[in-house]
Homo-oligomer: A and B are copies of this chain.
Amino acid sequence: GYAKVDHCRSAHQGFPEVIFGLGKRAEQIGAIFQRLAEKNNPVLATRCDEDAYQAVQSLVPQATYHAVARVISYQLPDLAEGQGFGKIAVLSAGTADLPVAEEAVITARAMGCYVEPIYDVGVAGLHRLLDHREKLAEMDALVVVAGMEGALASVVGGMSERPVIAVPTSVGYGANFGGLAALLSMLNSCAVGVGVVNIDNGFGGAALAATIVRSSYRRSQAKAE
């Protein structure tokens, strides 16, 4: 019945299977998760609440719940710096952006990248961001998560020569219109090298960054041979 695998799913070969939890019932998520875990592949379920985790855990006891990120994982690789396809920094502007940022962090790790989280570097306190200049220069791709006015993407884009993936969040109220303010801000960024994904799509932002980094890794492997 409903234990059908998500159709937008199986991104690339070697990437984990991913379940999108939003709008699925706990039992559905549990059943899909179990079926995927049986293949002994890494599995990720995003946008899941505690109930979904209960349902998954009763079937797949080794599954882990990442509460802030609202993600359930199975066989998440644990990479040290220098391991995996490459390095991705996930920057976030404010505390309220954390769930989206953490979803991005776990997704990028699940997709085989080493991740550096750089949080609370919103542009209203610029010095905190500037302190991370050198760290940013070592990365292979940057994921910038920001709500409200979303200005962080432009500032980071201006500072760095790496590809920047901007993830607007719905953090804000009033004339924020559910993330529209940050989305438009990021689409209109005058910095060079910035691409945008959907509002609150931490998964998608990290998946694009991982796609970039993996493409690059394969090429460098090819070259090295």
Contacts and interface: CB of A to CB of B under 8 A. Distances in A.
Contacts of A178: 174
B124 A154 contact: yes
B149 A154 contact: yes
A80 interface: no
Given A150-B185, A151-B185, A195-B196, A171 B23 contact: yes
A200 B174 CA distance: 7
Given A124-B158, A174-B198, A207 B192 contact: yes
B149 A192 contact: no
The count of identical subunits is: 8
A7 interface: yes
Q: What's the interface size class on A, roughly?
A: 35 or more
A109 to B, nearest CB: 16
A58 interface: no
A22 B2 CA distance: 25
B12 A94 contact: no
A49 B128 CA distance: 31
A149 B189 contact: yes
A206 to B, nearest CB: 10
Question: A4, A22, A211 — which one has the most chain B CB atoms within 10 A of its CB?
Answer: A211
Contacts of A4: 95, 120
Contacts of A223: 220-221, 223-224
Given A12-B192, A174-B179, 18 more contacts: A7-B122, A7-B124, A8-B190, A11-B192, A12-B193, A86-B219, A124-B189, A125-B158, A126-B126, A149-B189, A151-B155, A163-B215, A192-B204, A192-B208, A192-B211, A195-B197, A220-B222, A220-B224
